[in-house]
Structure 1
Amino acid sequence: MTTMDARSGRTGDTEESPEGDLTIRQAEGNDLNDVIEIGHRTWPVIYEPIAGIDYVAMGLAKWWTSDVVAASIRRGQTLVAEVAGDVIGMVAFGTQGDHFVVWKLYVLPEHHGKGIGSQLMEAVVERARDYGHARITVAYPDGNSYAERFHRAHGFVESHREPSGSGLPDTIWMVRELGPADEVSAGAAGEVT
């Protein structure tokens, strides 16, 4: 649905939550700093205990820079979750070969457990279908139990693991097949991302 948010004056594709206060929409250039902040606030909390501070610093420098995030927004491959004009979650997606891949899905820690990650995932599932893909792929570092539970609850199954080397956790790849009657209950597992 295309709407205009009266609070921000922004237009775009949106989905409102049953509560009516959460909007999932296409990210715009004005969202750049908010999306980067999500990475900088979530990565230390999630990945420092798993892989250490150096891994967090490397990831932020590689995947959460203005150039990287702006490119994803310009390509139309980033959606944001917004409440009362504040961006509190994001999902970035794209293709790798023939695969539709969810590259990032993060919600600010103080908003966990409210179904926001689930709504972002379902919005990206719809994008994958719109683009004609029959499956979605995700990856996360071994040890990220939040990601594992979240993706399993949303119909993903492990497809393979890649060793990361240098003492870093393996990368676990998961897939979700998108059949015509794809009805995974997003709320069934609770919010973990």
Structure 2
Amino acid sequence: MSTSEDVVVRPARVDDVDAVCAFGEAHVPPHYTPLIGADAARQQVTDWWRPEQIRAAVTAGQLLVAVAHDRIVGVAQHAREGVDVVIYKLYVDPSRRGQGLGPRLIEAVVASLPPDVARLLIEHFAGNARAGAFYEREGFAVERVDRSATGRPELDVVWRARVVPGRAGAGSVADV
């Protein structure tokens, strides 16, 4: 049985791009199809797991990977949005869930933040209740919900925020 102890979380490198894209192709559609439908799930890969998009994130230092035995088992992508940083991707191989890898990826993002960032945001589809519960456990409170133009509530985007302790300007999420 593998554990999170055999996993290294590190910044992604350009030579990881193909493996990150393959990870997305392998895990995103099966995860999202029952939640948002096959077409919307496939669109996630088409829109957000293209080599040029992943390469740009790697080059910008915005992508972290969890690697076990030379295989990517988790991905976290973040970007600066104004004064905050947003985690846009947080995925763990289903065989690795429940081993603490999601929290490790979040903490690796926090460790990589510039010192002036006091809040970390994350977004997920409303139809992904499991993600919502996980983010709630990790201290992310709902900030807003963006309704989907499709009118399908499962495609609404839930935005959550978490204060980064010890940072200038870090109050409670309710203070913002």
Work out whether residues 4 and 99 of structure 2, in 8 Å CA contact, stay in contact via their aligned partners in 1: no
1:149 and 2:133 correspond:
yes
1:109 and 2:94 correspond:
yes
Unaligned runs of 5+ in 1: 1-16, 183-193
CA distance in structure 2 between the partners assigned to 1:157 and 1:42 by the alignment: 26
Work out whether residues 38 and 106 of structure 1, in 8 Å CA contact, stay in contact via their aligned partners in 2: no
Unaligned runs of 5+ in 2: 171-176
Alignment of structure 1 residues 13-162 onto 2, 5 Å: 19=5, 21-128=6-113, 130-162=114-146
How many pairs does the alignment contain?
164
CA distance in structure 1 between the partners assigned to 2:61 and 2:161 by the alignment: 22
> Structure 1 stretches (4+) deviating beyond 6 angstroms?
none
Cα RMSD (Å) of the superposition?
A: 1.8
Work out whether residues 21 and 50 of structure 2, in 8 Å CA contact, stay in contact via their aligned partners in 1: yes
Larger helix share, 1 or 2: 2
CA distance in structure 2 between the partners assigned to 1:148 and 1:46 by the alignment: 14
Report what 2:174 is aligned to: none
CA distance in structure 2 between the partners assigned to 1:91 and 1:122 by the alignment: 10
TM-score by length of 1: 0.79
Q: Which residue identity lines up with residue 139 of structure 2 in the other structure? A: G
Work out whether residues 144 and 160 of structure 2, in 8 Å CA contact, stay in contact via their aligned partners in 1: yes
Q: Deviations over 1:133-173 (max 9, x none)?
A: 00001110102012111111111000000101213321100
Identity %: 30
Report what 1:4 is aligned to: none
Q: Which residue identity lines up with residue 113 of structure 1 in the other structure? A: G
TM-score by length of 2: 0.87
